[in-house]
Each structure stands twice: as C-alpha cells, then as structure tokens.
C-alpha cells in the first residue's frame, strides 16, 4: 500500500512563497519571491506533490473575507503557473482559539495526507516561522525553515534544516532524497541542471 503513497512538500505561503504583506487581502499585494516557481517546478518534476498550508487568521479577525482570501490565493496560483500546486489548505482560526488546523497543529497536513495519499515519511514542510517547524514535527515530516519572512532569526530553531530561501530548501530536499538533480546557482541563468 505504501508504494501507492507519494511524497509531498508542504509549503507555507506568506513569507515563504511570497512576501509577507501582513494580512494580505488584495491580489495586487502578491509578490512571489524570485525563483520560487522554478524551485517548485523542479520539486514537482521529481515526483513531489506540492501543497500549500497557510494560517489565515485575518479571516477570523474580520480583517478580510474568505472571498478576498480566495482572490489572493488565485493570484498566487496564477503567478506560480497553472497546475503547479496540487492543493491549498488554509486555517482561518485566530491565535489562542482552540484549533486543530492552525499551525503548529498538524490538521491541514493530516487532511491533505488523507485526501492526497501522502507518504509523510518521505515528505517535507518548508516555512518561515517556528510554528511551521513545529507543525511539521507534529505531523511527522522533515522541516526546513527559510529566512525570507519577517523573523529571520533562526538560532535555536527546531527545524531539521535552515535555508536562506525556498530555492536553497529545494536543494536540501534533493540532497536528502539522494537525487542527482542540482538547482543552478542564482548567477546561472540556465535554470535547474543535472550533474
């Protein structure tokens, strides 16, 4: 049965895929970090399902509606490219509220695992906050914390690895899965290459 299960990379949205706009409610605020789409396409080509898991307490706080969230989500998916992301899960709960989905709780990963036949033992979570690393640990996946969000201080992080950005996190995943693929350096315009 486990042969039918696929590995996944669970990815936080704000501060990891895109600049954190602090309660982003307008699609015009969406600014994807450089080379994120390239890195995600490379992971997808290596057989990983790509699933966004994002806390969106702005909904629960009344800062924006689910419809506004969906408009931002659509813009993120548009900028990344059609068909790249397999699924997106969001939690509208506010901090301090009892919640099974708000990270660091693993609810979004548990739900995605059930719906997408994910092998957690071969999966990773990439995020910019310590609660992302905690969520990954709680779900039983390996974790990578990136330094692209508001809080770039990562000393003492419980994450398995720390990376400068999602592109560097992708290389860590390839190294850990013993894949021969190599992501080109930032100065190489040829994109992903293989040794």
Residues tagged active-site = 12, 14
* Domain 2-194 of CATH type 3.40.1160.10: no
CB-based contact 34:188 (threshold 8 Å): no
- The vertex-128 CA angle with 123 and 134, nearest 5°, equals 60
Beta-bridge partners for 144: 126, 161
194, pLDDT greater than 60: no
pLDDT digits (tens, 9 = 90+) for 98-119: 999 999 999 999 999 999 999 9
Domain ranges of the chain: 2-194
Please give the structure tokens belonging to residue 124. Answer: 């990773």
77 vs 185: which has the higher pLDDT:
77
Which pair of structure tokens corresponds to residue 138?
Answer: 């709680």
Indicate the pairing of strand 181-182 with strand 193-194: antiparallel
Tell me the percentage of the chain whose pLDDT exceeds 90.
83
Give pLDDT, residue 151.
Answer: 84
Tell me which of 58 and 179 has the higher pLDDT: 58
Q: Name the β-bridge partners of 157.
A: none
With residues binned 3-state (H G I as helix, E B as strand, rest as coil), the percentages for the chain, rounded to 5, are: 35, 20, 45
């Amino acid at each position: 049965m486990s042969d039918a299960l696929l590995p996944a990379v669970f990815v936080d949205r704000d501060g990891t895929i895109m600049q954190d706009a602090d309660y982003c409610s307008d699609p015009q605020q969406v600014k994807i970090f450089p080379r994120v789409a390239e890195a995600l396409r490379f992971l997808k080509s290596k057989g990983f399902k790509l699933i966004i898991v994002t806390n969106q307490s702005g909904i629960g706080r009344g800062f924006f509606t689910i419809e506004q969230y969906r408009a931002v989500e659509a813009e993120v998916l548009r900028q990344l490219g059609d068909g790249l992301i397999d699924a997106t899960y969001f939690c509208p709960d506010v901090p301090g509220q009892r919640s099974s989905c708000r990270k660091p709780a693993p609810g979004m990963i548990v739900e995605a695992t059930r719906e997408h036949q994910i092998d957690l033992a071969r999966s990773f979570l990439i995020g910019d906050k310590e609660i992302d690393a905690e969520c990954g640990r709680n779900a039983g996946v390996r974790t990578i914390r990136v330094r692209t969000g508001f809080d770039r201080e990562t000393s003492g992080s419980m994450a398995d690895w720390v990376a400068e950005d999602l592109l560097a996190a992708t290389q860590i995943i390839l190294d850990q899965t013993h894949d021969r693929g190599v992501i080109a350096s930032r100065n190489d315009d040829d994109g992903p290459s293989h040794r």
